Chains A and B, each alone.
Chain A
Amino acid sequence: MSNYPLLSKLKEIVGDQYASDEEYVLIAYSRDASPLPPHKPDIVVRPGSVEEVVDIVKLANETRTPVMATGGRASMCGACLPTKGGIVIDMTRLNKVLDIDEERLIVETETGITWAALLYEVEKKGFKLGYRGPYSGHAATVGGSISCNSTGLGGAKWGQAPDSVVSLEVVLPTGEILETGTAVNPYAKRFARYCFGPDLTGIFLGDHGMLGVKTKVALRIYPKPEAVLYGCFGYKDLESCAKAFYSIQRTGLAEDMVILCNRKSIEYILPDAAVAFAGIEALFVYVIEAETRKIGEAIKEYLDSIAKKYGGVDLGIMFPEIFWTSKYEMITPLFEWGSEWAGSCHLLETSRLVEATKKSLELFKKYKFDELGIKYIITAMCAGRTVCVFTAHPYFNPLDKKQKEVVLKYWEERKREVIKYGGCFYWTGVGLYPIVVELLRKEWWNTLVKIKKSLDPNMIMNPGAFMILGDIYET
């Protein structure tokens, strides 16, 4: 087999051991955590500096080769799949924490670091992160998460991944290095995001790597709390549970919150608990982090009173404590029900939780999930004070052809349904773009195409995530 044409040039840039076109290496980069079919890159490179990233990007631009920067590659809709082949840049060597500034309360890091690694480094210095990464934070990188608008831990107080970002260093598709936020001032440090004009940082957040390669990021940090307190309440119906959940979320006092929206979700996840808590149809947990125990206890008393006002039964602190002390380990175990899933997490007004749950259950019924033994959970996390991340995931066994066929068919309908009832996916990818193009406002697309064309005239960067942009350009 002949080598990939750019192999020797890429090896010159990153060093022999950091570029490979071996088949077994390419196969390892051909899938994410979604049920989408494999797409292999032509070559994988692992740069160790921003200068190397610049050289790779310049080479890709000169040769009009598709190039995609990837992080944890555990996305749920093909956001990191190299659908057009080309170069995959594995960013995980760029994983150094550059500075933890105790005065500015800023951590500056390379983007290939995982959330768990960053959390470890920050906590060692006595600080915490705001948004703490997606549920896959042992693998997900900071760069990957801010590129796909991730939601996850700490979302109730701190919102989504981009909300913590102060400033970026980005390698543009033509090879220039762009600094954003206060770093545009060569005399200033990274301490604020909005200055001198429009928010250029924001353009690159959620771009799925199609506008540039993010190499450095500055995030806000906070003093590590003295007290962590928990609450868990069960309800005899979802309506009361959802009202209590939203009332607590709106206070902005909880660090994190998760709700299980129906009895079956509780039984699937916690079969023992379901027996122990007979009559509970829905439950939620919350986490408080406070500067002092006194403050924490006062907050807990207040939040508990809200929960009880809607008829909540106090289920103790065992669940939320385990939830919060085993961060990033709450989703993967569920794959016992089948190692594939059809993710449709999306942003929704929290006030519409009940309606969304009903719709999900109707669709599950239509596709006869219960009869086919397909298990699922319906749950929601928070993305700020008023928005939730609504999740209704079925899981299937890839060796069960019937299950696979039914769930994949369901998935296509589900994605359309979500957009049509007003839900908004925070992520995209090859599994979503055709539906998005069809249903979203054309002006948004046109503007996106204009930005893309001006920054990436040769359309080299991540043509997969927003493949339609490449197609429009090509036609």
Chain B
Amino acid sequence: MKLKHIREVLEEIYSCARCQECRESIKIASTGKNIYKVCPIRELLGFDAYTARGRILNIQAVIEGRLQPDEKFAEYMYTCLECGLCREVCIAKMGKGVDFVSIMEALRKDLYENGLIMDSHRVVLKSLKQNYNPYKQLHEDRLEWLEDLPENISVKIGERAKYAYFVGCTATHVTTEIAQATVEVLSKLGVDFTLLEDEWCCGFAAMIFGGEKEIKDFISHNLEQVKKTGAEYVITSCAGCYRVFKEYYPKYFKLDFKIIHSAELLDSALKENRISFTSPKEKLRVTYHDPCHLGRHSQVYEAPRNVIKAIPGVEFVEPLRTREYTICCGGSIISSHPDLSLEVAKYRLKDFDEVKPDVLLSCCPFCYRNLSYGIKLEEKPYKMVDLIVFVKDLIKIEKPAEVVVDVSKKLAEYLVAHPEIFSELKKGSVLNYHVSGKVFHVERLKDTIKVKFGEHPKADIDLYVSEKAVEALTSAKNKEEYMKTFKTMYKQKELSFKPRANLFTLARKGYVSWAKKAGVI
């Protein structure tokens, strides 16, 4: 087998220390992280071949000439969900983790270019070439879902608008209620949007089996389509499309628009007090599944949660495995390994059984499709609903109200005015500040800092600051006085911290010097 792409990630492949963290780590008691086992494929199929380490050992055997890949090998490698949980759990490379997703993507490109994709992938490929979607649905039928929209909603197609709604293949052909709900919500919000005149698959379906040429072709076509609309934002309700637009499109082309998920749009509208929600007809216990492509791959965790928490009459409960440690729904291998894909969905649903919800929400047509099927087969006592569908009829348009100045804002504004407080920290350091139930984060840039409301999912450290401490800290005239006050408040237990990054990372980012100045050590 000719190896081209895999050679580009050799350093990554050989940075695996074979420590086995990726096998079945349970880190709840040992580190306080909500990691309860890692790869669902390993949990279901059992052998270590299905861990990241096991796959890397096999890839190394190929590179070193000890193993000749064949169709069986390809079928085995295509069982990987590419969900990235192993990368999240991995602590090699000073905690950064081996980028196993990149390794698997490179391998799949080589498998594809050597003719080692599976028959099911060939079917998808044929459909992509003929119909520009993986579902063997006629391309000309792609707008059929518009027919069921309420009469008062009109949708522009291929016209100029500020927002372009990229529907995605699954919402177009399979879970059309998500597409319909998105359009209804956009209309309700008064968003100036259009559909693309000729939308093709975002490229995700080709990415699954490593079809790099196809990905590029699809991206190129869709970019032309977006350009025609002059859109400043591409909005999507699909986690897969979102990730491909955010991560892959810029790899090949320079983008002159921003990509946003519908959950982010709702979150912004909430923050700007432009909308609120009414209660559902009955009180509901609601939980949320983080789609891998929106969560782990794109770091969008807060927006959907902010939306759910803003709905009155809804009790929000998190499963044990959530956010960055969530378990994949199995959807990404549905074409190559449909049975296994469904088993993964059933495995994931056990997490939700424990929190006993009425409704399971998510933000992705793939997750919706796979988990719904699992719920049906397992006869679960709860239903699955996509977030945009769930909120569609609950949205209430508000007039923007004045933002109340709160104590957390006071501290945030103080810190913005005093970036020198963080001078010991290296670029890229992030601290979450928790004040009176609100969270903002400070990110160290090259010469200054950026303060943004909301929790940063990759923060190095969480700081918990009492209102008394905020008053004291914001009274400090300069850094010296601030640090002195910080020390006093720390001793009085008015503020505390909890590191998220490991010791090595903290030391490399300058936290030890910072903590020393702050009197914590």
Chain A residues packing against B (C-beta within 8 Å): 17-18, 20, 22-25, 27-33, 38, 44, 46, 72-74, 90, 92-93, 114, 116-117, 119-120, 123-124, 136-140, 232, 269-273, 275-276, 315-319, 322-323, 325-336, 339-341, 397-399
Any A CB within 8 A of the CB of B280? no
Nearest chain-B residue to A129 (Cβ)? B29
User: Which B residues are in CB contact (< 8 Å) with A334?
Assistant: 94, 504
Q: Scoring B residues 487 to 521 as 1 if CB is less than 8 Å from chain A, else 0, what string do you get?
A: 00000000000010011111111111101100011
Contact of A27 among B14, B57, B92 (CB under 8 A): B57
The reply to whether A120 and B26 form a contact with Cβ atoms under 8 Å apart is yes
Q: Which of B94-108 contact A (CB under 8 A)?
A: 94-96
Nearest chain-B residue to A323 (Cβ)? B503
Any A CB within 8 A of the CB of B67? yes
The reply to whether A325 and B31 form a contact with Cβ atoms under 8 Å apart is yes
- Taking the nearest CB of chain B, how far is it from the CB of A220, in angstroms? 18
Contact of B17 among A18, A90, A317, A339 (CB under 8 A): A339
Besides the known contacts A28-B51, A270-B504, A327-B30, 14 further A-B residue pairs in the complex with CB atoms under 8 A apart: A27-B54, A30-B57, A38-B66, A73-B48, A120-B29, A120-B30, A138-B25, A138-B27, A139-B20, A269-B503, A276-B516, A325-B32, A333-B95, A399-B11
The reply to whether B511 and A272 form a contact with Cβ atoms under 8 Å apart is yes
- Taking the nearest CB of chain A, how far is it from the CB of B189, in angstroms? 44
Any A CB within 8 A of the CB of B10? yes
In the bound assembly, the distance between CA atoms of A275 and B49 in angstroms comes to 43
The reply to whether A33 and B26 form a contact with Cβ atoms under 8 Å apart is no
Asked if A25 meets B47 with Cβ closer than 8 Å, knowing A33-B19, A318-B521, A327-B30, the reply is yes
In the bound assembly, the distance between CA atoms of A120 and B29 in angstroms comes to 5
The reply to whether B94 and A336 form a contact with Cβ atoms under 8 Å apart is yes
The reply to whether A272 and B513 form a contact with Cβ atoms under 8 Å apart is yes
9 closest A-B pairs by beta carbon, nearest first, are A316-B521, A139-B20, A28-B54, A335-B17, A138-B25, A28-B49, A327-B30, A270-B507, A120-B29
The reply to whether A315 and B521 form a contact with Cβ atoms under 8 Å apart is yes
User: Which A residues are in CB contact (< 8 Å) with B47?
Assistant: 20, 25, 28, 44, 46, 90
In the bound assembly, the distance between CA atoms of A318 and B19 in angstroms comes to 26
Asked if A116 meets B512 with Cβ closer than 8 Å, knowing A29-B48, A326-B502, A336-B94, the reply is no
Contact of B513 among A25, A29, A275, A397 (CB under 8 A): A275
Any A CB within 8 A of the CB of B76? yes
Centre residue among B19, B510, B515 by max chain A CB count within 10 A = B19
User: Which B residues are in CB contact (< 8 Å) with A74?
Assistant: 18-20
In the bound assembly, the distance between CA atoms of A120 and B25 in angstroms comes to 11
The reply to whether B512 and A318 form a contact with Cβ atoms under 8 Å apart is yes
Chain A at the B interface: SS class: mixed
The reply to whether B504 and A138 form a contact with Cβ atoms under 8 Å apart is no
Q: Scoring B residues 3 to 34 as 1 if CB is less than 8 Å from chain A, else 0, what string do you get?
A: 00000001100111111110111111111100
- Taking the nearest CB of chain B, how far is it from the CB of A34, in angstroms? 9
User: Which B residues are in CB contact (< 8 Å) with A92?
Assistant: 23-24
Q: Which of B47-70 contact A (CB under 8 A)?
A: 47-49, 51, 53-55, 57-58, 61, 66-67
Centre residue among A329, A336, A397, A399 by max chain B CB count within 10 A = A329
A sample of 10 cross-chain residue pairs with beta-carbon separation below 8 angstroms, ordered by A number, consists of: A28-B47, A28-B49, A28-B51, A31-B18, A73-B20, A90-B48, A116-B25, A116-B26, A273-B512, A332-B17
The reply to whether B503 and A270 form a contact with Cβ atoms under 8 Å apart is yes
The reply to whether A17 and B46 form a contact with Cβ atoms under 8 Å apart is yes
The reply to whether B72 and A22 form a contact with Cβ atoms under 8 Å apart is yes
User: Which B residues are in CB contact (< 8 Å) with A317?
Assistant: 521
Contact of B20 among A72, A319, A339 (CB under 8 A): A72
Asked if A139 meets B24 with Cβ closer than 8 Å, knowing A116-B30, A318-B521, A333-B94, the reply is yes
The reply to whether B520 and A23 form a contact with Cβ atoms under 8 Å apart is no
Any A CB within 8 A of the CB of B73? yes
- Taking the nearest CB of chain B, how far is it from the CB of A155, in angstroms? 16
The reply to whether A24 and B76 form a contact with Cβ atoms under 8 Å apart is yes
Contact of B93 among A31, A333, A399 (CB under 8 A): A333
The reply to whether B93 and A326 form a contact with Cβ atoms under 8 Å apart is no
- Taking the nearest CB of chain B, how far is it from the CB of A315, in angstroms? 6
The reply to whether A336 and B32 form a contact with Cβ atoms under 8 Å apart is no
In the bound assembly, the distance between CA atoms of A362 and B127 in angstroms comes to 66
- Taking the nearest CB of chain B, how far is it from the CB of A104, in angstroms? 22
Nearest chain-A residue to B32 (Cβ)? A325
The reply to whether B508 and A272 form a contact with Cβ atoms under 8 Å apart is yes
Centre residue among A25, A270, A327 by max chain B CB count within 10 A = A25
Any A CB within 8 A of the CB of B91? yes
The reply to whether B29 and A139 form a contact with Cβ atoms under 8 Å apart is no
Q: Scoring B residues 184 to 201 as 1 if CB is less than 8 Å from chain A, else 0, what string do you get?
A: 000000000000000000
User: Which A residues are in CB contact (< 8 Å) with B66?
Assistant: 27, 38
In the bound assembly, the distance between CA atoms of A33 and B57 in angstroms comes to 12
In the bound assembly, the distance between CA atoms of A93 and B44 in angstroms comes to 11
In the bound assembly, the distance between CA atoms of A315 and B515 in angstroms comes to 11
In the bound assembly, the distance between CA atoms of A327 and B32 in angstroms comes to 10
User: Which A residues are in CB contact (< 8 Å) with B28?
Assistant: 120
The reply to whether B46 and A46 form a contact with Cβ atoms under 8 Å apart is yes
User: Which B residues are in CB contact (< 8 Å) with A93?
Assistant: 46
In the bound assembly, the distance between CA atoms of A271 and B91 in angstroms comes to 18
In the bound assembly, the distance between CA atoms of A316 and B514 in angstroms comes to 13
Nearest chain-B residue to A136 (Cβ)? B19
Q: Which of B457-487 contact A (CB under 8 A)?
A: none
- Taking the nearest CB of chain A, how far is it from the CB of B242, in angstroms? 31
- Taking the nearest CB of chain A, how far is it from the CB of B131, in angstroms? 34
- Taking the nearest CB of chain A, how far is it from the CB of B46, in angstroms? 5
- Taking the nearest CB of chain B, how far is it from the CB of A97, in angstroms? 12
Contact of B21 among A32, A275, A332, A339 (CB under 8 A): A332
The reply to whether A119 and B14 form a contact with Cβ atoms under 8 Å apart is no
User: Which B residues are in CB contact (< 8 Å) with A315?
Assistant: 521
The reply to whether A316 and B91 form a contact with Cβ atoms under 8 Å apart is no
The reply to whether B26 and A28 form a contact with Cβ atoms under 8 Å apart is no
User: Which A residues are in CB contact (< 8 Å) with B45?
Assistant: 17
In the bound assembly, the distance between CA atoms of A327 and B29 in angstroms comes to 9
User: Which B residues are in CB contact (< 8 Å) with A18?
Assistant: 46
The reply to whether A117 and B31 form a contact with Cβ atoms under 8 Å apart is no
The reply to whether A138 and B21 form a contact with Cβ atoms under 8 Å apart is yes
The reply to whether B508 and A326 form a contact with Cβ atoms under 8 Å apart is no
The reply to whether B15 and A316 form a contact with Cβ atoms under 8 Å apart is no
The reply to whether A316 and B520 form a contact with Cβ atoms under 8 Å apart is yes
Nearest chain-B residue to A275 (Cβ)? B513
In the bound assembly, the distance between CA atoms of A31 and B54 in angstroms comes to 10
The reply to whether A332 and B30 form a contact with Cβ atoms under 8 Å apart is no
